Amino acid sequence: MAISRDKLLIGGVVVLGALTFLVYKQAQKDDALGKPTVTEADFPTISAPEDIDKVSITNGDKPEVVLQKVADPSAPATDAGAATKWEVVKPVQADANQMVAKDLVTNLHDLKIDSKINLTLDDAIRKDKQLDPAHAVHVVAWKGADKKVDEYFGKSGTAGQMVTVADKPDAVWAAKGYSSYLYTKEAKDFRNKDVLKFDDLNATEATIVNSHGTFVFAKGGDKWTAMFDKKPLPRFDETKVKDMLRAYKGLSADDFGDGKTVAETGLDKPDATVSIALKDAPAPVVLQVGKVSTGTDRWAKKGDSDAIYQLASSTADWATSDATKYQTTGDGGAPAATKPKPKTASKK
C-alpha cells in the first residue's frame, strides 16, 4: 500500500527532530567535557617563598640531595643581619655552589599551576608519566620547621610540566616555569668545585717540582724567565707559563675524592707540587697532584685544605709534564738544531 506524501513528511520531521535532539545532547556533553573541572582558585600552590632555608631534591632512584642555608662567618654582616650561605648537607657535608643554589631557589619561587590535567592515576600511568617514585623529581622546601612545598615533577608535555602535590597525590597538574636542569644535576654538581682562584696577572713566580725535576719561572717586568734544575731552560716559551697560570687561576674540579685518604690518592707523596707566588700575598698558592684517579684524571688538593678533588688530565699535565711542556716545539725537548753555515771558498 502506498504511503501518502503527508505521512512521509511527518516521518521526516520526527526523524529530523530526533537527530536535532541527539546533536543538542552531544553538544551539551562536549561542552561539559571542555569546561575546566576546577577553577584557578582551586589550584594548589607549588611555588616556594624566597626565604626558604632548606631544600631536598630526590631525582628518581638517585641519592637525595639536601641544601641548607647556614651562617657564613667569613662574610661581613649586612643590614638584614648575619651573612648566610648555602651548604650541601646530604649526601655529604660540603660547600654548595652558591649560584646553583640561588638559581634553584629563584626557580622554586617562580613556579605556578597553569591548569589541571584530566588523568586517572594508576601504577601504569604513574610510571608512563614519570610520576612514580623511581622516576619523579621529588622536591621539598622548608622555612625553619615549616614545610612550604612538597611536590613530584614528571614528564613535560604540551600543557606544561606534569606535577602532583603531596596532599593531593591523585590529581595531576600542569606547571609553568619549571627548569628541569636545575633539579636533575648529579649530586657533585650542586657543590662548590673551586680549587684555586687568583689573578694570574699578579703572579710573580711559579715553582713546579715533579719526577722530571724542578722548574722555576720568574717574572721580571713583563717577561718570564725559566730555570730547570738550576739551569736556564733552553727554548723556553713564555706563552706556555702564561697558559699554565690561566689554567690554574680559576681551577675547578671534575669530581671529589670523598672518603679517600692522602695515602690512597698519592697525595702523601705527591707526583707534582705547584707553588705560585702572588704580588702582595702573604703566602703562595699551592697545588699538590697525586695518582691517576679515574681514566686519565688525577687526584689533587690545595695545600691548605683537606678536600681531595679530581682534576682533568689536561689541567694536571701542567704540573706533571717534562720540560717540553714549556718549550717551543722540537724533538724531545732538545735544543733546536742549528742550520750549518754555508761553506765559503777558501782563499788561496
Beta strands in 24-131 (DSSP E): 54-59, 65-71, 84-90, 94-95, 112-117
Looking at the structure, tell me whether residues 219 and 316 fall in a common domain.
yes
Q: How many domains does the chain fold into?
A: 2
Question: What would the grid cell of residue 59 be?
Answer: 631525582
Check if the beta carbon of residue 303 is closer than 8 Å to that of residue 287: yes
The pLDDT score that the predictor gives to residue 204 is: 97
Looking at the structure, tell me whether residues 85 and 148 fall in a common domain.
yes
Looking at the structure, tell me whether residues 184 and 207 fall in a common domain.
no
Please give the residue range of the domain that contains residue 106. 42-190
Tell me whether residue 12 is in a domain. Answer: no
Provide the residue-wise pLDDT of the chain in tens; the chain has 348 residues. 455 655 555 655 555 555 565 555 554 444 433 444 568 888 999 999 999 999 999 999 999 999 999 999 888 877 667 789 999 999 999 999 999 999 999 999 999 999 999 999 999 999 999 999 999 999 999 999 999 999 999 999 888 899 999 999 999 999 999 999 999 999 999 999 999 999 999 999 999 999 999 999 999 999 999 999 999 999 999 999 999 999 999 999 999 999 999 999 999 999 999 999 999 899 999 999 999 998 999 999 999 889 999 999 999 999 999 999 999 985 544 444 444 445 555 444
Q: How far apart (Å, rounded) are the C-alpha atoms in residues 175 and 113? A: 5
Looking at the structure, tell me whether residues 212 and 235 fall in a common domain.
yes
Tell the burial category of 213 from Cβ atoms under 10 Å away from its Cβ (0-12, 13-18, 19+).
middle
Looking at the structure, tell me whether residues 258 and 281 fall in a common domain.
yes
Q: How far apart (Å, rounded) are the C-alpha atoms in residues 45 and 40? A: 11
Q: Determine which helix (DSSP H) or strand (DSSP E) holds 296, and give its type and residue range.
A: none
Residue 132 C-beta-side C-alpha neighbours within 13 Å? 10
> Which residues have a Cβ under 8 Å from the Cβ of 145 and sit 6 or more positions away?
none
Please give the single-letter amino acid code of residue 308. Answer: I
Q: Omega before 91 cis (within 30°)?
A: yes
Q: What is the pTM of this model?
A: 0.77
The pLDDT score that the predictor gives to residue 81 is: 73
